[in-house]
């Protein structure tokens, strides 16, 4: 089942300024960055720590690149701030089905590609006490080892 907090997603209007805040204030460095066209965001993953299951915990900073993206629409209503929480799992397919069987709406019929080639799905916030919840199966961590230097 769920093994860790994979990341906290934070919506921001200026990714570069927000990255600089977390770097200057807390010393967090960018582990990975990308543009996810499907999700309509430019993002940076700031590694917080390693975890006992071989994964890591991150802050995910998300800047919408389109107003009609999910993050863009959310920011239009809420402004900057915590957008979602993500839990790590070894098997997003099995765990999302088990959670669906408990009556929680899973937003994607099949998991999709997420940051760093992970596999993800989301749970409906109305079924999770107002919290948009993401389930994440990380890609092979060794595949991204070189990104720690970026």
Question: According to the model, what pLDDT value does residue 143 have?
Answer: 41
Q: Give the chain's mean pLDDT.
A: 92
The string of pLDDT tens digits covering residues 67-78 is: 999 999 999 999
Whether residue 134 lies in the annotated active site = yes
Any residues with CB less than 8 A from the CB of 77 and at least 6 apart, and which? Answer: none
Q: Residue 148 above 60 pLDDT?
A: no
Per-residue pLDDT band for 141 (boundaries 50, 70, 90) equals low
Could you tell me how far CA 137 lies from the centroid of its own chain? 11
Whether residue 29 lies in the annotated active site = no
Which residue is catalytic, options 32, 39, 43, 63? 43
Q: Residue 100 above 70 pLDDT?
A: yes
Ordered strands of the 2-11 beta sheet: 30-36, 41-50, 56-64, 2-11, 81-89, 133-137, 119-123, 112-113
Measured CA to CA, the distance from residue 108 to residue 98 in angstroms comes to 14
| Three-state DSSP class for residue 141 | helix
The string of pLDDT tens digits covering residues 13-40 is: 999 999 999 999 999 999 999 999 999 9
Whether residue 60 lies in the annotated active site = yes
Contact 39, 120 (CB under 8 A): no
Domains and CATH numbers, the chain: 1-135 (3.10.180.10)
Which residue is catalytic, options 32, 60, 63, 83? 60
Structure-token match 């239009």, residue found: 76
Contact 46, 32 (CB under 8 A): no
Whether residue 129 lies in the annotated active site = no
Higher pLDDT, 140 or 55: 55
């Amino acid at each position: 089942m769920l093994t860790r907090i994979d990341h906290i997603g934070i919506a921001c209007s200026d990714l570069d300024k927000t990255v600089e805040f977390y770097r200057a204030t807390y010393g967090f460095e960018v582990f990975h960055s990308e543009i996810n066209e499907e999700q309509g965001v430019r993002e940076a993953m700031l590694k917080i720590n390693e975890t006992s299951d071989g994964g890591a915990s991150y802050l995910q900073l998300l800047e919408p690149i389109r107003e009609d993206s999910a993050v863009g629409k959310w920011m239009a209503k809420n402004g900057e701030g915590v957008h979602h929480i993500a839990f790590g799992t070894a098997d997003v397919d099995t765990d999302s089905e088990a959670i669906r069987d408990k009556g929680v709406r899973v937003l994607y019929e099949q998991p999709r590609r997420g940051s760093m080639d992970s596999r993800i799905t989301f749970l409906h916030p109305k079924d999770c006490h107002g919290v948009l919840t993401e389930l994440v199966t990380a890609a092979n961590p060794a595949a991204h080892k070189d990104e720690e230097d970026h």
